[in-house]
Amino acid sequence: MKDFRFYLEYPNKKEKRKATRKMLGNHTGNCLAVFTNVKEHLLPDLKSIETIAAVYFHANSDCCLSSASFDYIQKKCKRISEQQAREIHPKLFSYLEQ
């Protein structure tokens, strides 16, 4: 899908560190879709970016427009492919495709 990067959310830094691209480990079951056109979607504080993210803390949660700090993405998220994100979080793609 054009214009997005996908990140898998982890419950903590330790679980993220244990995961690899092939063995995703103990993740939350939710993904973030981050806009690739960063200049248009940076928030005024320049420390966060608009995203499409899960509403609740359970796997394959409903989604909404949200924001995430760069610190959160760096500490608790791992970049994954679109195909992996589609398998893990189908509701994210139903939101993006509406």
- Please state whether the predicted TM-score (pTM) of the whole model is above 0.85: yes
pLDDT for 23-37, tens place per residue?
999 999 999 999 887
pLDDT at 41: 60
For the chain, give the number of residues: 98
Give the C-alpha separation, 41 to 2, whole Å.
15
Strand 63-69 to 31-35 pairing: unpaired
* Residues 10 and 26: beta-carbon distance below 8 Å: yes
Q: Provide the residue-wise pLDDT of the chain in tens; the chain has 98 residues.
A: 788 999 999 999 999 999 988 899 999 999 999 988 766 666 666 788 889 999 998 999 999 999 899 899 999 999 999 999 999 999 999 999 98
